[in-house]
Amino acid sequence: MSIGIEGKVVLITGGGTGLGAETAKYLASKGARVAIAARRKDKLDEVVASIVAEGGEARAYQLDVVDKAQFKAVIDATVLDFGRLDVLINNAGLMPIRPMIEVNTDEWDAMIDINLKGTLYGIAGALPLFVAQDSGHFVNISSVAGVKVFAPGGTVYSGTKFAVRAISEGLRQEIGGKIRVTSIQPGAVESDLKHSTTGTAAGAVMDFYKLAIPTSAVARAIAFAIEQPADVDINEIILRPTAQEF
């Protein structure tokens, strides 16, 4: 894997909106060849058009990260179209905030499926490829809620993000060598994630996000991890608004 960002092939899940879209645009501006994947093809096409209009290279792939066969197929298609894959950014996520006493198991299932299983399915699809290439980089989006439990309301969300952080560190220890693993733990970021909450906590969530930082701040942090020399592995980055206590 080459030093820097230019020329690297980067696949980003949740790439049609928010942090995923901003990261795709930012990395493309630095010379990355970008593949973006998400469920909404119309949003993906808008991001691709924006990147291409600025002289970048990008392709879109429809993907539901809870479908492991489809995830593997998207990784294979990326390699077929670009010739390789250097970085996988597991970004797709869901954050419905609700006190556990309300017992919404559908939301619990969705968070486990998207936040946790989706990350694992990405790892499962790309890891054999990275081993065969003798290089690669996983960037897994966790959260400050994966460092400190966000309760009441965010208990299950925190559980999934703690798991992403633990899996990232365990993966790093297991594969080591020439494959890098980075866990990004953002605080409040201005994106669609806050709209995942539709229950009794919706008002509190919207108030909390009034101090949110732009997605570009996280995109720059991701780029910092990617652009390091091959012998440097940035394992964790925690960033949040200066005004955020949690």
What is the structure's pLDDT at 209?
67
Helix (H) / strand (E) element for 46: namely: helix 41-53
Q: Give the residue from 141, 211, 223, 150 showing the smallest Cα distance to 183.
A: 141
Question: CA geometry: angle at 102 spanning 99 and 108, to 5°?
Answer: 75
82: enclosing H helix or E strand: helix 68-82
Is 84 in contact with 133 (CB distance < 8 Å)?
yes
d(CA 14, CA 38): 5
Structure tokens at 205: 């969530």
- Distances in Å between the alpha carbon of 14 and those of 20, 98, 100, 121, 222? 5, 23, 26, 14, 15
Taken in order of first residue, the domains within the chain and their CATH numbers are 9-235 (3.40.50.720)
Residue carrying the six token digits 């869901």: 94
Local confidence band at 1 (pLDDT 50, 70, 90 cut-offs) = very low
Residues classed as catalytic: 157
Mean pLDDT of 198-221: 82
What is the rounded average pLDDT for all residues in the chain? 94
Highest mean pLDDT among 1-10, 23-32, 150-159: 23-32
pLDDT band with cut points at 50, 70 and 90 for residue 196: confident
Rounded distance between C-alpha atoms, residue 127 and residue 117, angstroms = 15
| Lowest-confidence pick of 85-99, 198-212, 214-228 | 198-212
| Segment 181-209 mean pLDDT | 79
Q: What is the pLDDT of residue 32?
A: 99
Q: What is the 3-class SS of 185-206, one letter each residue?
A: EECCECCHHHHHCCCCCHHHHH
Reported pTM: 0.94
% of the chain surpassing 70 pLDDT: 96
pLDDT 10s digits, 70-87: 999 999 999 999 999 999
Question: Could you tell me how many helices (H) and strands (E) the chain has, helices first?
Answer: 8, 7
Two tokens, residue 14: 């949740």
Strands 87-90 and 179-186: unpaired
Q: What is the pLDDT of residues 93-103, one digit of tens each?
A: 999 989 999 99
What pLDDT band is residue 31 in, cutting at 50, 70 and 90? very high
What is residue 210's three-state secondary structure? helix
